[in-house]
Structure 1
Amino acid sequence: MVRYYALLLSMVVCTPHFSLAADYFQIHVIDAETERGIPLVELETVNQILHVTDSNGIVAFDEPGLMNQEVYFYIRSHGYTYPQDGFGFTGKKLKVTPGGKAVLKMQRVNVARRLYRVTGGGIYRDSLLVGVPFPLKEPVLNGRVLGSDSVVNTLFKNKVYWFWGDTNKPEYPLGNFDVPGAVSELPARGRLRIQQGVNLKYFLDETGFAKKTCAMPGEGPTWIDALVTLKVESGTERMFAKYVKVKAPLTVYERGLVEFNDALKQFEKRKVFDFDAPLYPVGHPVKYKMEGVEYVLFGLAAPLTRVPATPDALTNLPEYETYTYLKPGAGTEEWAVDRDAEGQLRYQWRKNLPPLSYDLEQKLIQRGEIAAEEGYFYLRDIETKQAIQIHNSSVAWNPYRKKWTMIASQKFGTSVLGEIWYSEAESPLGPWKWARKIVTHHKYSFYNPKQHPMFAEENGRLLYFEGTYTTLFSGNDVKTPRYDYNQIMYQLDLSDPRLAPELFQQ
């Protein structure tokens, strides 16, 4: 009998503790200006227990041994600051009690506001634990997706279609490397406001995981970009993208055009492109009418390649032109610099020439063929007047500014591919002269930014964009739990005095 009671006691003692909402101490980190919760704030104890706020800016804390006492938390977040104490520590001592709550206010340094995480697991994990409302239908795991690289999206049949690069899943580090996809409703159709989030409905395979929508034959993953919707003469819409096949180490060996079959939720191959062709679809496309003809503009750092906005033209690379001051060369030279009678660079739409790029212009500068200030890629920081090397960008018309706006990532800065800039111009072709840094990261990458003009609010005053948050390329081996390798949404208020129109007209 003694043994029986001892066994019962051991079972009681060893029974795991299941926390209820009342057991957690809630820490809510908010923007001091807007009082909105800040995602991606790291709270770390003296003994390195790390918590990261969810998309409501909430941490649910229930650490055995640290409850019902004062606990110090180091506080840090990309683009936000918290006051230091007399010893230089940035943090706060909190009395941690079950069911208790503390509110911490941080000052935003970023011009843009971080809103929420779009993809991955645990987007509203801590809110769920403490019983705080959240806007998403799937707050912690949607399509069994834990991480997603580089988004492209487009309006198609009055809905938003989203596609990503390599995507992780719970049961194994290798997941979908052939373009997962999803669809969401437009906020204007009475659905969730973009300020609150995006309810993604993933295209799923038989296991419930985000399915492969573009598994083209050949070695390695399939990636897509240059996603565009074209309206044909019948009035129907067709969706196209450029695909590439990639093998180790990140070597592209095939590219072509695919079209989306909406019934099957699958891309189908339409064309394999000549791999040596200098012009092809790339980047985030934008439509632009010139001389009565609607074109699609393509480009990574700037949209300097065009083709008529028709399916036939899109498949026909010889029809592609690039806006350039290069011209065919003579003798052994493939191309040369074209100047007018006054010695100014002569820009024209030309075929069979490479698009201008920062690296190409650096070669021209080193050879003395152009001056640095003549180059197309001479974008400068409004504050420091220093030149900025753009890696990629997303361009869209903005009715509030009545300008074309650019959201761009910088190749090198305080972090490799970690800085995001805003610029504007009279045309999608530029010239892009001045830029303001709107998002910064410390030793973390945030690349492939995608502007979302379909979500813009208040006649374009509130602009929305997202990018991929990852340690990749940053040199940082410490990955942020749940956030790493995922998409984060930002809002940019174009009425901010730091973005005054006259600053971009110097």
Structure 2
Amino acid sequence: MPNGLAAIETAPRHFSKASNLNFLARFLTIILIGLTAASFSFAQGDAAATLAACRIHIVDDQSGWPVPLVELKTTHQVRFVSDNAGVIAIDDPSLLDREVYFSVIGHGYEIPADGFGFRGVRLTPRRGKTLIVKVQRTAIAKRVGRLTGSGLFAESQKLGEQLDWNDGPVFGCDTVQTAVHRGKLFWAWGDTKLASYPLGVFDMTSGTTSLDPFESLQPPLKPKFDLFLDERGRPKGVAPIPGDGPTWLTGYVSLPDKNGDEHLVAFYRKIKGHLQTYEAGLCEWNESNSEFEIVRTVWKASDGTPPPSLAEEGHPVFWTDAAGTRWLLFGNPLPRIQIAGTYEAWKDFENWKTLTPQKTLRSADDGSEIVPHSGSLAWNAFRTRWVTVFMQKFGKPSAFGTLWYAEADSPMGPWGDAVEILSHDNYTFYNPRLHPELTPAGNHVLLFEGTYTAEFANHAAPTPYYDYNQILYRLDLDDPALQPAQHSVTTSKP
């Protein structure tokens, strides 16, 4: 017997008629509340089923790989961007169960133009359905995915996929530095955005991974960093060099001393105003507090002297010359500085040697002169040559978003013809960093990353999630499209 009826049956016989009516009224109220709650629960379930999203999967039409960072935009400017799994979730009721035209914007991936020059697709999104959009890769470089920031799988998770993925506590970060140090890969990033306030961390953030951090060299990319955090669980500034303004590190490298001990070191700059350096020097990683500390200051604006030409940013690379001497070179992209590859030589700033890099490279396409702006180089065992990926200064269609690949017999050059490998539609992609340490020696895959940002573009609309973050690409060095850069075989050694 239901509990409410049992209560009525066992009610005392001497209750008054009014009491019995009040008791019955309370009981009916309880029943009504229960029925209402149950109805609301069922209604919620029905609403959830009604509003289920449509799954759009963006894939490369040749490889079938998912393609991150492809934007679908409606005729009334509603934007959707594919996540690291190439997925977009469409749950806007006004777009479901009707034919919708989406423009496709892919930075190196596209849809063939129609008779009016529009590049897009007509789709009819339906609840619980999957629609495939195949895009053609026009760039030589293949996009693997986003390395930093939040929402790497935001679209997939709306659909109940990739639920084991948890984003780190970072929304965006600038230029990367990497170094292999004491059996780990150390990563450091410039100005870093957090969720809690528009001003984030401006004295570098950092984390580590294993030397083999990725499950695969193709998408979906799942980067997991062991970040250095403060007492509140937020990414900590690891270069708290005294003074106003941001601290930027460059020349990030691990060097052995005369006893064989490893030292993680960098060149620091203190910044004020708009990219103006007012102090520069050498700093070293303190293993006990996980912070960089000053080794020596080599220049201050207050001294009244111009900054030394050696105080320039650059990525490090080791090079053994024909005589068997091991050197450390710094370049951005081509070598500007040469020192012996030891900790003691690094500290001896007065004896750093200045180099004069090649000012331009020739385009393999039309012979025009290409001015490198930023990038890095590495020895490549597959090509048995030195290779570089660099961003062009004042390229097209984006002034700072076009990247090139070139090869040389020696890191000192001369560098052969350059091949364009990636470009962006009115968007910036600067400071590309090669990652030869992430692929086995002799592997045909060359990985690089760079900073994707609307800064320095022509009033570009920032891409949600992706803006001001690091994106990883790969080059397949056996791709016939790179042959114009691949001239004579050499015997140079790293």
The equivalent residue for 1:442 is 425
Separation (CA, whole Å) in 1 of partners of 2:277 and 2:203 = 14
Partner residue of 1:201? 226
**Amino acid of the structure 1 residue aligned with 2:200:** G
2:135 maps to amino acid: M
Please, which of 318, 322, 326 is the counterpart of residue 350 of structure 2? 318
Structure 2: state its 5+ residue gaps.
1-24, 26-31, 301-306, 490-494
| TM-fit CA distance, 1:475 | 2.0
Choose the corresponding residue for 1:27, options 41, 56, 62. Answer: 56
Other-structure match for 1:213: 238
Instruction: Answer whether contact 1:21 1:129 (CA < 8 A) is retained.
Output: no
Q: Secondary structure at the match of 1:173?
A: coil
CA distance in 1, matches of 2:45, 2:426: 38
TM-score after normalising by structure 2: 0.85
- Which residue type is aligned with residue 84 of structure 2? S
Q: Give the structure 2 partner of residue 297 of structure 1.
A: 329
Q: Check if 1:260 corresponds to 2:242.
A: no
Q: How far apart, CA to CA, are the structure 1 residues paired with 2:315 and 2:253? A: 8
- CA drift of 1:458 comes to 6.7
Tell me if structure 2 keeps the 8 A contact 1:277–1:317. no
DSSP 3-state at the match of 2:391: strand
Give the AA of the match of 1:485.
Y
Seen in structure 2, the aligned counterparts of structure 1 residues 500 and 163 have a Cα distance that, compared at 3 Å, is same
Query: Deviation of residue 202 (structure 1)?
Result: 1.0
Of residues 247, 254, 262 in structure 2, which corresponds to 1:229? 254
Q: What letter matches 2:216 in structure 1?
A: R
Alignment of 1:496 with 2:491, yes or no, is no
| Amino acid across the alignment from 1:32 | D
**Alignment pair present for 1:482 and 2:472:** no
CA-CA distance at 1:322 after TM superposition:
2.2
Alpha-carbon spacing, 1:470–1:421, altered in 2? closer, same or farther (3 Å): same
CA distance in 2, matches of 1:151, 1:133: 26
Q: TM-score, normalised by structure 1?
A: 0.83
CA positional deviation for 1:462: 0.3
Q: Does 1:309 align with 2:341?
A: yes
| Residue of structure 2 in register with 1:187 after alignment | 212
Give 2:416's aligned residue: 433
Aligned equivalents of 1:30, 1:194: Cα separation in 2:
16
Residue matched to 1:53: 82
* 2: CA distance, partners of 1:408 / 1:39: 22
8 Å CA contact 2:376–2:388 kept in 1: the answer is yes
Any conservation in 2 of the 1:28–1:59 contact (CA below 8 Å)?
yes
Contact conserved, 1:192 with 1:199, CA < 8 A, in 2?
Answer: no
Shift of 1:181: 0.4
| Rounded Cα–Cα distance in structure 2 between residues aligned with 1:249 and 1:280 | 18
> Do residues 83 (structure 1) and 104 (structure 2) align?
no
In the alignment, is the contact (CA less than 8 A) between 1:187 and 1:194 conserved in 2? no
Question: Which entry has the higher C-alpha Rg, 1 or 2?
Answer: 2
Report the CA distance between 1:160 and its aligned residue: 0.8
Indicate yes or no: 2:128 matched with 1:93: no
Taking the TM superposition and a 5 Å limit, the aligned residue runs for 1:144-183 are: 144-183=169-208
**Which letter maps to 1:391?**
H
What's the counterpart of residue 398 of structure 2? Answer: 415
- Show the counterpart of 1:383: 365
1:383 counterpart letter in structure 2: D
Contact 2:329 2:336 in 1 (8 A): yes
Q: Deviations over 1:318-356 (max 9, x none)?
A: 2111234xxxxxxxxxxxxxxxxxxxxxxxxxxxxxxx5
The Cα of 1:93 is off from its aligned counterpart by 1.6
Q: Residue 503 and residue 194 in structure 1: after superposition, are their counterparts in 2 closer, same or farther (change >3 A)? A: closer
Answer whether contact 2:406 2:485 (CA < 8 A) is retained.
no
Contact persistence 1:118–1:486 (CA under 8 A): yes
Shift in Å at residue 416 of structure 1?
A: 1.6
Q: Given residue 486 of structure 1, which amino acid in structure 2 is its aligned partner?
A: N
For 1:242, what is the secondary structure of its paired residue?
Answer: strand
1:71 aligns with 2:100: yes
What displacement does 1:91 show? 1.4
* CA spacing shift, 1:128–1:457, aligned 2, 3 Å: farther
| SS of match in other structure, 2:369 | coil
1:351-370 paired onto structure 2 within 5 Å: none
Question: Using the alignment, how far apart are the partners of 2:54 and 2:439 within structure 1?
Answer: 37
8 Å Cα contact 1:178-1:223 kept in structure 2? yes
Matching residue within 316, 319, 324 for 1:288 = 319
SS in 2 for 1:312: helix
Give, in whole Å, the separation in 2 of the partners of 1:223 and 1:67: 47
User: Contact 1:24/1:99 (CA < 8 Å) preserved in 2?
Assistant: yes
1:457 Cα offset (Å)? 4.2
Give me the whole-angstrom Cα distance separating, in 1, the residues matched to 2:153 and 2:65.
Answer: 15
Structure 1, unpaired ranges of 5+: 325-355, 357-375
- Number of matched residues? 447
> How far 1:87 moved relative to its partner?
3.6
Tell me by how many angstroms 1:391 deviates.
0.3
Matches of 2:242 and 2:78 in 1, distance apart?
45
Question: Offset of 1:13 from its aligned partner?
Answer: 13
1:112 partner amino acid: A
1:103 partnered with 2:103: no
Is residue 80–residue 109 contact of structure 1 (8 Å, CA) maintained in 2? yes
Q: Distance in 1 between matches of 2:317 and 2:135?
A: 37
CA distance in 2, matches of 1:22, 1:232: 63
Residues 17, 151 of structure 1: CA spacing in aligned structure 2 closer, same or farther, 3 A cutoff?
A: farther
Tell me how far 1:49 sits from its aligned partner. 1.1
- Matched residues in 2 for 1:101 and 1:166: separation? 38
Name the CA shift for 1:298/1:18 in 2 (closer, same or farther; >3 Å).
farther
Residue 167 (structure 2) aligned to one of 141, 147, 160: 141
Amino acid at match of 2:197: Y
Deviation at 1:22, TM superposition (A): 8.4
Tell me how far 1:310 sits from its aligned partner.
1.8
Amino acid at match of 2:262: E
Q: Would you say the 8 A contact 1:392–1:449 is kept in 2? A: yes
Q: What is the Cα deviation at residue 281 of structure 1?
A: 6.0
**Aligned residue in 2 for 1:362:** none
CA distance 1:184–1:484, change in 2 (3 Å): same
Task: Please report how far the alpha carbon of residue 168 of structure 1 lies from its aligned counterpart in structure 2 after TM superposition.
Answer: 0.6
Letter in 1 for 2:379: W
Q: C-alpha offsets along residues 160-194 of structure 1, whole Å, 9 cap, x if unaligned?
A: 11000101111211100010001111228xx6334
Change (3 A) 1:209 1:233: same
> 1:40/1:140 Cα in 2 relative to 1: closer, same or farther (>3 Å)?
farther
Distance change (3 Å), C-alpha of 1:94 and 1:501: closer
| In structure 1, C-alpha distance between the alignment counterparts of 2:179 and 2:269, rounded to whole Å | 19
